[in-house]
Structure 1
């Protein structure tokens, strides 16, 4: 489908990235790496590719600041996207079609290849304008965020290479904003934990009114009293909840249910401290002020899900999840994921000003 945007280099770069099917499962990240290397080459910036886990590359593009000894700024995004049900899409999800009304359709238009390209285009604008920022800026592109970040940001954040970046402040994804002037910013996340509760008892026929069955402790099965039943829970613990007390509560519930009731963690993520928004982090104050100067407000929230930012915060680095995607419905992981071109370009405008402000904090 031809459109008036076909000669717009900014939009064409975005569409090129969207067309790379870095979709779970079994992703080949090779085309993403080559695309990002090309962007770095065009910007005349150094690029490093690390493989802490085989076939799970981490790409880092660096723009050195005038005072590289200062702690740097990290702009993070992930390369992977979630699966699609193509039969439910108006346009093929990896064709990056631009509709007549100016929407780009494609998996990753909101989560989060759009933010990755906003980061890159903001750097491109500033660099091409001859701007030299005080602080070094690193743009990281990581794998496997959509499957828990185990082979992506988690292992990267624990590496010597990450420590060598000397990061003082990081920005990562938040979510689209339905409001035209209010931006959601996450300064912390609920802790993701997954448990399996197992109830054991005496088996028998479903018609018998036996005692001490697994069913009376944790559920029933049609026509059969099984020897054990199990149920899984995907839990999100609020940051202000004592996580040790939460563990004790689960243990107490299992004991109260009767003998033979146990639980085990499938995933037990550690509690991570929130980024402070009380005025003690100058980068946050500058970000908030520059956004206000552009006519926007920031709504501070705890993220209900999980992002790569939790691994950054775990290293003691303040991180804010910030996506200037305005007046846009929440279509993350949905059919017909899309972003309007005007919204995408406005996001670049906002990031340009934000980056210039946070990277010049004394």
Structure 2
């Protein structure tokens, strides 16, 4: 019999995966009820916070430490998952079915219901062993992360409720690794989503109007794509760099025009930009403004997102929590890479408050399938992750 067969932790994980907490129009109540049940089984108190509205709760289970006056540890995960296209799945996306290879198929199996349940499984094992730690541990389940966190951690972290938790360090999500290495994330790029609203001469399509929106659009697109090409070359020319080390620029939307023989008075082009942590934000914004002037003016830049620079978490001996984390993975013989996260997580709000945070999902030798069809995690990988957290949590909670 395989180690995962008839395993209670696997059963609980499947139960959580079967809750369709999927965008849009999520009902978090089934997740909340499930988490409350886990807290009751652990004999730990649970509290709900509503930083924005009653439909988007933050659920916190607390294990009080021996020295509760010390800054606490947060083990954060999010309850929400991205939409699915069920017709492209070979298994029901909320069925949590296990195949003959021990693969658990479900939306959220990698991103990131696995991590939240691994926290609880590790805590359960540690409590059963009679362990206690210096620092209080808060196991936190947040909403809205997949939409940017505006209804969750973005508002919760600056609140008095969060301040009262006295957080000193946080663990949050990472990404699966397709090889033997475990990836550990200490920083994130800054997300800018921008739209150039480009005005120009309008009129009949048979006339060569000057300073049209189309001409200006070409200039803007050329400049932005030149920047993109430069970042691609940086990545190609440095074998040690990963996606998180460069700025990514992608054209995402082009809108405008009313019909094919009318030159439009305005076109809009949108870009998703993720600024590398070494980019000067003021200088980059000035560069965008210069592009607009060079194109002939009459262009307004509208920012859908303009996230500020957030200092990375120190990954040296100056950070005792990192020292505890590193000691854990070293003792387990895990091969790790420290990276800048290529996308966005709730960690950025925690780091923004000056609190060190590490992104880590203990999944190696696993294809990266977050947001993809047939998302899965192997049962043996999931169970191994619990054992890894059983080492990490004591070391950071006693830091």
Q: Report the TM-score, using the length of structure 1 for normalisation.
A: 0.96
Query: Which moves more between the two structures, 249-258 or 333-342?
Result: 249-258
State the Cα distance separating 1:53 from its structure 2 match. 2.0
State the Cα distance separating 1:245 from its structure 2 match. 1.1
* 1:217 correspondence with 2:255: no
Query: Which of 342, 364, 369 pairs up with 1:326?
Result: 364
* Residue correspondence of structure 1 range 77-156 to structure 2 within 5 A: 77-156=77-156
Q: Which runs of 5+ in 2 are unaligned?
A: 219-255
2:390 is matched with which residue?
352
SS in 2 for 1:52: coil
Number of residue-to-residue matches in the alignment: 358
* 1:304 correspondence with 2:303: no
2:69 is matched with which residue?
69
2:13 is matched with which residue?
14
* Residue correspondence of structure 1 range 162-311 to structure 2 within 5 A: 162-180=162-180, 182-219=181-218, 222-311=260-349
State the Cα distance separating 1:317 from its structure 2 match. 0.2
State the Cα distance separating 1:4 from its structure 2 match. 8.7
CA distance in 1: counterparts of 2:302 and 2:24, whole angstroms: 27
How big is each residue's C-alpha offset from its partner over 1:107-136, in whole Å with a ceiling of 9 and x where there is no partner?
Answer: 000000000011111101000110011111
CA distance in 1: counterparts of 2:118 and 2:392, whole angstroms: 11
Q: Is the 8 A contact 2:316 2:322 kept in 1?
A: no
SS in 1 for 2:57: strand
SS in 2 for 1:345: helix
Query: Which moves more between the two structures, 228-237 or 263-272?
Result: 263-272
CA distance in 2: counterparts of 1:23 and 1:259, whole angstroms: 43
Q: Is the 8 A contact 1:288 1:298 kept in 2?
A: no
State the Cα distance separating 1:223 from its structure 2 match. 3.6
SS in 2 for 1:290: helix
2:241 is matched with which residue?
none
What RMSD, in angstroms, separates the aligned Cα atoms of the two structures? Answer: 1.4
2:222 is matched with which residue?
none
State the Cα distance separating 1:6 from its structure 2 match. 6.1
CA distance in 1: counterparts of 2:81 and 2:197, whole angstroms: 34
Query: Which moves more between the two structures, 141-150 or 261-270?
Result: 261-270
State the Cα distance separating 1:5 from its structure 2 match. 5.2
Q: Report the TM-score, using the length of structure 2 for normalisation.
A: 0.87
State the Cα distance separating 1:279 from its structure 2 match. 2.2
SS in 1 for 2:364: coil
Q: Is the 8 A contact 1:194 1:233 kept in 2?
A: yes
State the Cα distance separating 1:207 from its structure 2 match. 2.9
Q: Which runs of 5+ in 1 are unaligned?
A: none
Query: Which moves more between the two structures, 292-301 or 140-149?
Result: 292-301
Q: Is the 8 A contact 2:46 2:61 kept in 1?
A: yes
State the Cα distance separating 1:196 from its structure 2 match. 0.8
State the Cα distance separating 1:206 from its structure 2 match. 2.5
